Amino acid sequence: MTTTEEIIQREKQFLLQTYSRYPLVIERGKGVFLFDLDGKKYRDSYFAEFPGVWRHGDWIEILPDGGCVIYGRSDATLNRGGVRMGTSEFYRAVEAFAEICYSLVVDTGRLGAEGRLILYVVLAAGSELDDDLKNRIRAVLRAQLSPRHVPDEIHQVPGIPRTLSGKKLEVPVRKILHGMDPERAADPNALADPDVLRYFGRFQGSGEDAAPPRLRKETSPSQ
């Protein structure tokens, strides 16, 4: 008869062989990531923000009667005045403009506190982020999404930070806006171009109601 320990070891070996590139919690009673021998990545992922307290990343409200309401992910979801929306709808609307190659949107709000909705765009060659383009972007978002999803700020950037697999990094940028050092916001080895994320360091702290920095005019390189 197969023992529980044998099943665990067999599943562990399967995960190592099949998903060796992905971080997974695989030990009973002990949270670990694959190849995170000292446990640093695991601690940084779940315990760095509140030392000694597990932070999973979902908003939850504990009611007076002891009941709970789980609102869902606190990271890249846009929650504007209680209207929740994923970022994909936002990107479809913005990147339909011929002047815009890529975009990234971040909601700086926290549970119980409305933040700012900040849009970053990479422009096509020869395009300019002038008032006319900003107004047209806002008008389309108001019509296609909702008035609550009109960005408070629109900034031009030279590139959009992505993982090696091409995923946009809204969460690390949000961490930077709330004051985190770009070098700690994401593992540079997992990024397609670490310098693109470092660029967002000039916005560091702007999620805490600091004045946003002034951007120099730049052309948009290919990504």
The pLDDT tens digits of the residues spanning 1-12 come to: 556 666 666 666
Amino acid symbol at 44:
D
150-173 residues labelled b (16+ CB within 10 A) or e (exposed): bbeebbbbbbbbbeeeeebbbbbb
Band the pLDDT of 44: cuts 50, 70, 90.
confident
Same structural domain for residues 40 and 82? no
- Structural domain includes residue 138: yes
Q: Is the pLDDT of residue 59 over 80?
A: no
Residues 109 and 116: their CA atoms lie apart, in Å, by 6
Yes or no: say if 166 and 91 are a contact pair by the CB < 8 Å rule. Answer: no
Same structural domain for residues 101 and 41? no
Residues 117 and 207: their CA atoms lie apart, in Å, by 10
Residues 210 and 28: their CA atoms lie apart, in Å, by 44
- Structural domain includes residue 176: yes
Same structural domain for residues 85 and 122? yes
Please give the backbone phi and psi of residue 150, each rounded to the nearest 5 degrees, phi first: -80, 125
What is the CATH classification number for the domain harbouring 92?
3.30.300.30
- Structural domain includes residue 101: yes
pLDDT at 4: 60
| Percent with pLDDT over 70 in the chain | 65
- Cβ neighbourhood burial of 197 (10 Å; 0-12, 13-18, 19+): buried
Model confidence pLDDT, tens digit, residues 61-111: 788 898 887 665 556 667 676 667 778 889 999 999 999 999 999 988 765
Same structural domain for residues 35 and 86? no
Please give the backbone phi and psi of residue 172, each rounded to the nearest 5 degrees, phi first: -60, -40
Residues 136 and 99: their CA atoms lie apart, in Å, by 11
Same structural domain for residues 100 and 194? yes
Q: Are strands 68-73 and 78-80 parallel, antiparallel or unpaired?
A: unpaired
Domain that holds residue 51: 4-55
pLDDT at 136: 97
Residues 26 and 46: their CA atoms lie apart, in Å, by 15
- Structural domain includes residue 73: no
Same structural domain for residues 82 and 173? yes
Count of structural domains, the chain = 2
pLDDT at 144: 93
pLDDT at 29: 44
Residues 77 and 170: their CA atoms lie apart, in Å, by 9
Residues 185 and 82: their CA atoms lie apart, in Å, by 27
Assign residue 209 a region (left: φ > 0; alpha: ψ between -120 and 50; beta: otherwise): left
- Structural domain includes residue 67: no
The predicted model scores a pTM of 0.65
